[in-house]
Amino acid sequence: MTLLLLALAIAVLLQLRVPVAFAFLGPSLVYMAVIGQSAGAALRTVTNAAASFPLLAVPLFVLLGTLANHTGIAERFFRFALALLARVRGGLGYVSIGTSLAFSWMSGSAVADAAALGKVQIPAMLRHGYSRRFATGVSASSSLVAPVMPPSIPAVIFAGLAAVSTGALFAASVLPALAIAIGLCLVVYLLVRFREKVTTEPFSMREVVDSGKGVILPMFAPVIILGGILGGVFTPTEAAAVGVVFIVIVGLVQRSLSLAGFITAVKEAVTTTAGIMLIVATASLLGYILARERLPQILTDAVLSITSSPVMFLLLTAVMMLILGTVIDATAILVLVVPILLPIAGQFGVDPIVLGVVVIVSLMIGLLTPPVGTVLFVTASVSQTRVGEVFKGTLPFMVPLLVIALLIILFPATVMWLPGVLGL
């Protein structure tokens, strides 16, 4: 009954558009008062959660993404990819996916990707005859590569909560991210072949060379960041710091980063980080309450009574993440469910790294589903399109996303291949 009342209170507050962090905090403080715990105890739980060393990488990766936005790296990748695929039918669809894949090595956030690239990609596609539904759908869907491909902010949060190697989780996420990009390209091919009527442009080697000059330096960013982490040269936090310095140097060399742009990027990073950490902190207090009410043990017994199959456990987890991802922020879900799911995964013999990839991929699909669907709203905003129209555009691209999530569940060894090769 206590858990039911708690859930009902949170649901009502979320329905009233109360920010997620405060929707968690209010009922949690009431619970603490009812059981005789002081506000000081609640405050200690909240501050301890935010003081985690692995989470120090979050603000640095966020800053890396905002700096990459303000140095115009996304636009440079877009221009270069467009020059390469100018004569390919449906080329702008592939360019959208390819640019998102290239930019994902620096952004780590689907929302940042959708905002930075959508305002460039969508108008270009509309000018070349693509339908608004297709343009917004492919732009929104391709942004999901960013939080899966390392450096991934959700992966940093999961690794910190689960006490697993961030490098190993990064490595395990590479193949799923590439598979998502390939799957989205297949949908673009089919839509362009049978539905979209689009135009192409003449190929220009001069444009390829000119635009290629602008991406030479930024292309070293993933080598430095991911190579440093997987090679054991940097910790993820150190790699993020080195990446920030490198992007600043690139911006200065290419004269694309002004002092005003740097200050704006820092302000955006501070605002985003504050929102993330506030959710992490308040959700940890709610997590403490759920643990005190023995919810993990209750769920473990319930799942074990339903099935003894690791595949079925992962499938149930993915479905739960998809449902929760439609109504609650992904960061809040991670903080709440990871401590609950880990002991259950242990009972089924599921590797925490595999669990992390399944959870992250499933949650990211939730970014495309209403009513919360953050990426839907961002894409709708930058393209001046109704949210419903954007959602309809994403529906064909949901197919490969769901298929890849299912393949990860059925063949978990595939995501563990790269970490094994690298000895992580």
> Of all residues in the chain, what percent carry a pLDDT higher than 90?
16
- Least confident piece of the model among 105-114, 232-241, 302-311, 359-368: 105-114
> Of all residues in the chain, what percent carry a pLDDT higher than 70?
97
Q: What is the pLDDT of residues 55-97, one digit of tens each?
A: 778 888 888 888 887 888 877 888 888 788 777 777 788 888 8
Q: Distance between CA atoms of 275 and 242, rounded to whole angstroms?
A: 24
Whether residue 216 has pLDDT greater than 70: yes
Q: Global pTM?
A: 0.84
User: What are the distances in angstroms from CA 258 to CA 92, 248, 253, 313?
Assistant: 30, 10, 11, 50
Dihedral sign, Cα of residue 155, residue 160, residue 162, residue 167:
positive
User: Which residue from 226, 172, 230, 183 is spatially nearest to 359, judged by alpha carbons?
Assistant: 172
Mean pLDDT within 104-110: 76
Taking residue 310's Cβ as centre, other Cβ atoms within 10 Å add up to 17
Whether residue 230 has pLDDT greater than 80: no
Whether residue 224 has pLDDT greater than 80: yes
The band of 198, judged by pLDDT with boundaries at 50, 70 and 90, is: low
Contact status, residue 106 vs residue 64, Cβ threshold 8 Å: yes
pLDDT at 200: 63
Give the phi and the psi of residue 355 in degrees, each rounded to 5. -60, -40
Q: What is the mean pLDDT of the chain?
A: 84
pLDDT at 397: 92
Most confident residue range from 4-13, 215-224, 309-318: 309-318
Q: What is the pLDDT of residues 366-407, one digit of tens each?
A: 888 877 677 888 888 888 888 888 888 899 999 999 999 999
Whether residue 265 has pLDDT greater than 70: yes
User: Which residue from 265, 235, 221 is spatially nearest to 66, judged by alpha carbons?
Assistant: 265
Mean pLDDT within 264-292: 84
The band of 315, judged by pLDDT with boundaries at 50, 70 and 90, is: very high
Whether residue 264 has pLDDT greater than 80: yes
- Least confident piece of the model among 38-52, 122-136, 208-222, 314-328: 38-52
User: Which DSSP string corresponds to 19-62?
Assistant: -HHHHHHHHHHHHHHHTT--HHHHHHHHHHHHT-GGGGHHHHHH
User: What are the distances in angstroms from CA 5 to CA 1, 239, 290, 321?
Assistant: 6, 44, 12, 22
Under DSSP, the state recorded for 204 is -
Taking residue 381's Cβ as centre, other Cβ atoms within 10 Å add up to 15
pLDDT at 220: 84
Whether residue 301 has pLDDT greater than 80: no
Mean pLDDT within 185-193: 88
Whether residue 358 has pLDDT greater than 90: yes
pLDDT at 172: 92
Q: 258-269: b or e for each residue (b if 16 or more CB lie within 10 Å)?
A: eeebbeebeebb
pLDDT at 183: 94
Q: 120-129: b or e for each residue (b if 16 or more CB lie within 10 Å)?
A: bbbebbbebe
pLDDT at 185: 92
| SS3 of the chain: helix, strand, coil, percent, to 5 | 80, 0, 20
